[in-house]
C-alpha cells in the first residue's frame, strides 16, 4: 500500500520528508517522491525504485521551503514510471497532491478533466485529484478541498500543497488512514504512526479534512470545525531492528511474547455458534488452520474462505451465523468489503485484527485485537501466530485452556530449530518446485509455509493437503524435490508415514515438522517442535516454516523485509 508523509514548519524539510518515507518502506512500494512549497512555487522530485534513488536526486538541492509532502507508491493504476509517481501537480501547478487508496469514479473524472481541456499526463487516478482541487479553488483552500472530496467515490487519504499558502498542508481522508502530529513549532502527517515525530498525535476521522500550519492543525467535518481524536504516540521501539539483521527475524523471535499478550488479552472471550472465518493470504491460512478446532469447539460444521471468494459467492442467508473477519492490518480492502457484505447477508461480524482503530474494526460490530504489536516486515510472521493464538484462545474447550496458556512457551521452544532450518534451507533450489503438505490443522500451517517461502525467496512452492499429493501433484516429485511434511496429530501418524515413504520412493527429500520421533525418523531432515494438542498446533508448527523461508531468503540474497511486488497491506480490491 502507498505511504504518505508531510511536514510544515521544518527548516530541514527535505531530510524530514525522506526520513519519514524511509519509515514507511515496510509497506512495500516501487517509486517515491516529494513536493516542496517554495517561495517561487511548487517543486516536485520523484524517482522510480528505492528511496535511495530519490536521495541521489535530492543530493545538493537547496530549498527555501519549510513545508512539503512525500509519497511511496505501490502501483495500482499505471506502471511504476516517473510520470506516475506522486506527488502530482495540478494543471496550473497550484496544487501538489499525494494519495493512498483507489478513486473508483476515476473514469468519469478523467472525462470531466478532458471536457474542460485538461489532458492528464499520467495513468493514475491520483493526478485527477490535483486537477479537481484547482478547478474547485476560488481563493478558499478548505472550500476547494471539501468540494473535491464530494466529487470522489472510493477510498482515499490525500495530502496537498497549495502554492498560494506555502506553509500549509491540506489533508482529507475516507477509509484510508491518516494521522496528524503536532510538534514544537512544526506539524506533520503520515499514513502510519511510525513515520510521525510529534508530541501529540491525532487520527483524522473518516470523512474529515484538516489544515496543517507550523503552529498546529485545524480539523473539519462538513464545513464545521471539529475536535480531533487524540491517540497514543507510536512506540518507536517497534520501528527499529534492535540488532537483528532483518525485521522479519526480529518479529519471528518476538512471537512468544506476542502470543502471550494475545492469549492473556483474549482469555475468557468465547467464539461460538456456526462460524464462517474469512481472510486473505496468511490470514486465510490462520482461519483454515483453526477450522478443526472451531468444529470441535462448536460441534457444528464451520467454514473458512478467502475474502475474495466470499465476495463473489452466492448471497446465501447468514442470519444466525457469525462471520469472523481476520486481518493483521485491518486495512485489506477485500476483507473490509467482505465484512460489509457479511453484515448485508445477516451475519454477525466479528473482526480479529492487529491494528487498533483500523478500518475493519470500524466496519464490524464487534472486534478483538491480536496484540502482536506493529509488524514491519512485509511477510507476516507474528501476525499469523497471534491470529492462530487468538483463535485458539477463543475456541479451545475448557479442558484445553491450560494448553492454550502454555502456547507461548511452546513457540519459544520451537525457535530452537533455527540451526536445522538453515540445514533444510540448503535442500531448496531457487528454480525448483518445493512442496508443503499437511492434514487437518496442519493443512493451513503448510499453506502458510508455502506462501512464506514463495513471497520472500520467489521459489515456486506449493501448499496442499497431504492426501492430495498422490492425486496429480506427485508428478512433480523428482530426485531431490523437497517436500515439507507438517505432522502434529498422532491419530494421523500412519498416513504421514505412508506419505513420507511415497515421496522418498520417488527421490523426494522429506523435511518433517513434527514432535513425533517416528515421523522424524522417516524423514531426510526433521525440524522438531514441542508436542501441543494437535488442534492448537498451528501457532507452534509455523515457526520452523518461517525460519526455513527466512534462512533460504538470506542465502539467496533476497530483500527479506521488502520482497518484490509485495505490499504490507493490499488496500485495493
> Annotated catalytic sites, by residue?
2, 568
Cβ atoms of 36 and 57 closer than 8 Å: no
Cβ atoms of 297 and 272 closer than 8 Å: yes
Of 213, 206, 110, nearest to 162 by C-alpha is 213
Nearest distance from C-beta of residue 32 to ligand AGP, angstroms: 22
How many residues does the structure list for the chain?
573
Say how many C-beta atoms besides its own lie within 10 A of residue 475's C-beta.
Answer: 7
Q: Which is nearer to ligand AGP, 18 or 450 (CB)?
A: 450
Question: Is position 44 an interface residue for ligand AGP (rule: CB under 6 A)?
Answer: no
Q: Which is nearer to ligand AGP, 196 or 351 (CB)?
A: 351
Nearest distance from C-beta of residue 286 to ligand AGP, angstroms: 8
| Residue number closest to ligand AGP, CB atom | 281
Nearest distance from C-beta of residue 354 to ligand AGP, angstroms: 8
Q: Which is nearer to ligand AGP, 381 or 499 (CB)?
A: 381
Find all residues with CB under 8 Å of 107, minimum gap 6, and list them: none
Distance between CA atoms of residues 248 and 326, nearest Å: 21
Question: Is position 569 an interface residue for ligand AGP (rule: CB under 6 A)?
Answer: yes
Question: What part of residues 145-204 is at the interface with ligand AGP (CB under 6 A)?
Answer: none
Question: Is position 570 an interface residue for ligand AGP (rule: CB under 6 A)?
Answer: yes
Could you give the 3-state DSSP secondary structure of residue 304?
Answer: strand
Could you give the 3-state DSSP secondary structure of residue 202?
Answer: strand
* Part of the chain binding ligand AGP (CB under 6 A), chosen from 38-46, 219-227, 280-288, 507-515: 280-288
- Sort strands 303-306 and 229-231 into parallel, antiparallel or unpaired: unpaired
Question: Is position 332 an interface residue for ligand AGP (rule: CB under 6 A)?
Answer: yes
Question: Is position 536 an interface residue for ligand AGP (rule: CB under 6 A)?
Answer: no
Distance between CA atoms of residues 385 and 35, nearest Å: 40
Question: Is position 248 an interface residue for ligand AGP (rule: CB under 6 A)?
Answer: no
CA angle 182, 184, 187 (to 5 degrees): 35
Question: What part of residues 357-396 is at the interface with ligand AGP (CB under 6 A)?
Answer: 379-380
Distance between CA atoms of residues 282 and 380, nearest Å: 7
Q: Which is nearer to ligand AGP, 124 or 569 (CB)?
A: 569
Question: Is position 339 an interface residue for ligand AGP (rule: CB under 6 A)?
Answer: no
Question: Is position 283 an interface residue for ligand AGP (rule: CB under 6 A)?
Answer: yes
Nearest distance from C-beta of residue 154 to ligand AGP, angstroms: 19
* Part of the chain binding ligand AGP (CB under 6 A), chosen from 30-38, 260-268, 276-284, 289-297: 276-284
Question: Is position 281 an interface residue for ligand AGP (rule: CB under 6 A)?
Answer: yes
The phi and psi torsions of 421 (rounded to 5 degrees) equal -65, -35
Cβ atoms of 364 and 300 closer than 8 Å: no
Question: What are residue 366's DSSP bridge partners?
Answer: 350
Q: Which is nearer to ligand AGP, 339 or 520 (CB)?
A: 339
Q: Which is nearer to ligand AGP, 72 or 377 (CB)?
A: 377
* Part of the chain binding ligand AGP (CB under 6 A), chosen from 22-30, 279-287, 337-345, 549-557: 279-287
Q: Which is nearer to ligand AGP, 58 or 342 (CB)?
A: 342
Nearest distance from C-beta of residue 228 to ligand AGP, angstroms: 26
> HSE (CB half, 13 Å, CA atoms) of 355?
20
Binding mask 310-329 for ligand AGP (x = CB under 6 A): -----------------xxx
Distance between CA atoms of residues 17 and 141, nearest Å: 23
Distance between CA atoms of residues 208 and 329, nearest Å: 22
Question: What part of residues 450-479 is at the interface with ligand AGP (CB under 6 A)?
Answer: 451, 455
Nearest distance from C-beta of residue 391 to ligand AGP, angstroms: 13
Could you give the 3-state DSSP secondary structure of residue 59?
Answer: coil
User: Residue from 21, 157, 280, 486 that binds ligand AGP (CB under 6 A)?
Assistant: 280
Nearest distance from C-beta of residue 202 to ligand AGP, angstroms: 24
- Going through 104-231 in order, the beta strands assigned E by DSSP cover 154-162, 169-174, 179-182, 187-190, 200-203, 209-213, 216-221, 224-226, 229-231
User: Residue from 72, 148, 203, 335 that binds ligand AGP (CB under 6 A)?
Assistant: 335
Nearest distance from C-beta of residue 131 to ligand AGP, angstroms: 32
Say how many C-beta atoms besides its own lie within 10 A of residue 114's C-beta.
Answer: 11
Could you give the 3-state DSSP secondary structure of residue 389?
Answer: helix
Could you give the 3-state DSSP secondary structure of residue 225?
Answer: strand
Contacts to ligand AGP by CB under 6 A: 280-283, 327-329, 332, 335, 379-380, 451, 455, 569-570
Amino acid at each position: 500500500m502507498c505511504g504518505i508523509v508531510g511536514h510544515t514548519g521544518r527548516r530541514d524539510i527535505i531530510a524530514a520528508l525522506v526520513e519519514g518515507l524511509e519509515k514507511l518502506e515496510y509497506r512495500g512500494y516501487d517509486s517515491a517522491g516529494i513536493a516542496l512549497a517554495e517561495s517561487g512555487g511548487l517543486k516536485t522530485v520523484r524517482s522510480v525504485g528505492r528511496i535511495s534513488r530519490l536521495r541521489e536526486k535530492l543530493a545538493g538541492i537547496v530549498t527555501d521551503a519549510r513545508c512539503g509532502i512525500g509519497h511511496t507508491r505501490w502501483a495500482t493504476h499505471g506502471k511504476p514510471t516517473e510520470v506516475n509517481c506522486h506527488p502530482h501537480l495540478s494543471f496550473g501547478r497550484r496544487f501538489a497532491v499525494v494519495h493512498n487508496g483507489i478513486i473508483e469514479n476515476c473514469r468519469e473524472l478523467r472525462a470531466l478533466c478532458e471536457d474542460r481541456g485538461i489532458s492528464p499526463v499520467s495513468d493514475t487516478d491520483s493526478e485527477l485529484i490535483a486537477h479537481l482541487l484547482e478547478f474547485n479553488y476560488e481563493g478558499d483552500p478548505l472550500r476547494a478541498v471539501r468540494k473535491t472530496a464530494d466529487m470522489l467515490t472510493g477510498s482515499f487519504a490525500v495530502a496537498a500543497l497549495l502554492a498560494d499558502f506555502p506553509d500549509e498542508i491540506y489533508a482529507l481522508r475516507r477509509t484510508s488512514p491518516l494521522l496528524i502530529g503536532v510538534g514544537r513549532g512544526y506539524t506533520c502527517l503520515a499514513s502510519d504512526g511510525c513515520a510521525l515525530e510529534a508530541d501529540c498525535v491525532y487520527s483524522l476521522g473518516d470523512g474529515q479534512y484538516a489544515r496543517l500550519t507550523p503552529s498546529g492543525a485545524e480539523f473539519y467535518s462538513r464545513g464545521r470545525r471539529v475536535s480531533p481524536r487524540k491517540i497514543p504516540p507510536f512506540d518507536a521501539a517497534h520501528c527499529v531492528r534492535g540488532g537483528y539483521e532483518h525485521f522479519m527475524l526480529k518479529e519471528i523471535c518476538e512471537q512468544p511474547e506476542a502470543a502471550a499478550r494475545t492469549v492473556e488479552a483474549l482469555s475468557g472471550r468465547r467464539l461460538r455458534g456456526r462460524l464462517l472465518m474469512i481472510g486473505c493470504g496468511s490470514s486465510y491460512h490462520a482461519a483454515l488452520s483453526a477450522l478443526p478446532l472451531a468444529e470441535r469447539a462448536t460441534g457444528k460444521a464451520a467454514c473458512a474462505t478467502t475474502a475474495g471468494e466470499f465476495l463473489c459467492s452466492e448471497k446465501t442467508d447468514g442470519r444466525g451465523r457469525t462471520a469472523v473477519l481476520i486481518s493483521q492490518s485491518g486495512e485489506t480492502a477485500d476483507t473490509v468489503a467482505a465484512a460489509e457484505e457479511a453484515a448485508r447477508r445477516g451475519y454477525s461480524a466479528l473482526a480479529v485484527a492487529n491494528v487498533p482503530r483500523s478500518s475493519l474494526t470500524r466496519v464490524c460490530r464487534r472486534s478483538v485485537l491480536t496484540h502482536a504489536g506493529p509488524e514491519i516486515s512485509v511477510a507476516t510472521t507474528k501476525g499469523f501466530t497471534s491470529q492462530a493464538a487468538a483463535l485458539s484462545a477463543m475456541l479451545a474447550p475448557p479442558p484445553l485452556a491450560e494448553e492454550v496458556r502454555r502456547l507461548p512457551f511452546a513457540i519459544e521452544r520451537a525457535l530452537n530449530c533455527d540451526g536445522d532450518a538453515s540445514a533444510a534451507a540448503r535442500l531448496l533450489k531457487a528454480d525448483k518446485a518445493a512442496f508443503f503438505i499437511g492434514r487437518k490443522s496442519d493443512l493451513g500451517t503448510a499453506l502458510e509455509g508455502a506462501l512464506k517461502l514463495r513471497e520472500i525467496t520467489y521459489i515456486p512452492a506449493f501448499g496442499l493437503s497431504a492426501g492430495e499429493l498422490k492425486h496429480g501433484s506427485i508428478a512433480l516429485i523428482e530426485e531431490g524435490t523437497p517436500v515439507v511434511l507438517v505432522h502434529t496429530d498422532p491419530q494421523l501418524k500412519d498416513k504421514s508415514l505412508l506419505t513420507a515413504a511415497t515421496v522418498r520412493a520417488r527421490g523426494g527429500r522429506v523435511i518433517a515438522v513434527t514432535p513425533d520421533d517416528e515421523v522424524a525418523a522417516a524423514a531426510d531432515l526433521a525440524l522438531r517442535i514441542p508436542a501441543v494438542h494437535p488442534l492448537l498446533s498451528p501457532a507452534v508448527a509455523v515457526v520452523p516454516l518461517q525460519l526455513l523461508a527466512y534462512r533460504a531468503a538470506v542465502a539467496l540474497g533476497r530483500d527479506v523485509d521488502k520482497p518484490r511486488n509485495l505490499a504490507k497491506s493490499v488496500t485495493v480490491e
